[in-house]
A and B are shown apart, each in its own frame.
Chain A
Amino acid sequence: RRELPDGGARPNAAQFKQLVVTALRELHGEVGAALPVDVLTYEEKTLSAILRVISSGLVKLWSALTLLGFYQNRRCAFRVLQTSPFLLALSGNSRELVVD
């Protein structure tokens, strides 16, 4: 999930993807930018997205997102909430499960 401190223009899905690719390009060069990343879902309201990447590319993607600090000259940050090899697991956050 992206966090923007002020209420500026929010990116749409295509701009979000562009941002992810730009982050990869800065940290890992053209090889990183060529990493096939898919944006499966994107909510403009919460700026949340589910990204899909090949498992060997997880480290590159996560490190690139972590180190991206700016969007259109505004400070921003990526927070990775959950990673899982299965899409179904992302529907609920297992850390918030309460055991009775």
Chain B
Amino acid sequence: HAALSRRYVLCEVVSEDPRCRQCIEDRALGLAVRDAITRVHGDYGLACCSISFTVKYLNAYTGTVLLRCRKDSYRLLCSALPFVRFLESRGQRYPCFLNTLHVGGTIRTCQKFLIQYNRTQLLRLLQNCTNEEERQCIQKSLLSCSLTEEQSQIRDEEDDDGTE
């Protein structure tokens, strides 16, 4: 069981350019991350991290990304994430950076963290609201958010070795 451990890295894409959200897709992001790993850790690092590397989940509206890699090479991956400087799609480059939010052993722990994080972000947005309409919108979202089994958007995947 423990031989196939993976780590799930949750990050968010932050960009000043609103068009960057359009190219938050798994291929563009995967290429950008692998390119960063190649630059920072070379051929060896790229090969190490590419075993079992995928973009597991994407949310273009919030810019949330969930990456998966082997437990042995998650440090290589995490140290290369700050070197992602732009996302490229259709020949256009949009500057951005990746914020690492959480590293977990299963998708479920990352999901729990993400729900918690989104709640605090909503609260913060509420405080920074400038006009009444936005305030109403956010307040409605806050009051209606609750965790039920049917609403989980991320597919359940158990990690066998039980480390969380």
What is the interface of chain A, defined by CB distance below 8 A to chain B? 24-32, 63
Contact = CB atoms under 8 A, between A and B. Distances in A.
Given A28-B42, A29-B41, 6 more contacts: A27-B42, A27-B44, A29-B37, A29-B42, A30-B41, A31-B79
A30 B79 CA distance: 12
Looking at B38, B40, B42, the one whose CB has the most chain A CB atoms below 10 A away is B42
Interface in B39-56: 39-45
Contacts of A63: 44
Say whether chain A's binding surface is mostly helix, strand, loop, or mixed. Answer: helix
Kindly state the interface size class of chain B when it binds its partner. 10 to 19
Contacts of B79: 31
Contacts of A30: 39-41
Interface of B: 37-45, 79
B40 to A, nearest CB: 5
A32 B45 CA distance: 10
B44 A25 contact: no
B43 A27 contact: yes
A31 B40 CA distance: 6
25 contacts: A25-B42, A27-B42, A27-B43, A27-B44, A28-B41, A28-B42, A28-B44, A28-B45, A29-B38, A29-B39, A29-B40, A29-B41, A29-B42, A29-B44, A29-B45, A30-B39, A30-B40, A30-B41, A31-B41, A31-B42, A31-B45, A31-B79, A32-B41, A32-B42, A63-B44
Nearest to B41: A29
B95 to A, nearest CB: 20
A16 B37 CA distance: 26
Contacts of B43: 26-27
Contacts of B42: 24-29, 31-32
A20 to B, nearest CB: 14
A25 B38 CA distance: 10
Contacts of A26: 42-43
Contacts of B41: 28-32
Contacts of A24: 42
A89 B92 CA distance: 57
Contacts of B39: 29-30
A28 B44 CA distance: 6
A5 to B, nearest CB: 24
Nearest to B45: A29
Closest 9 CB pairs of A and B: A29-B42, A29-B41, A28-B42, A29-B40, A27-B42, A27-B44, A30-B40, A27-B43, A29-B45
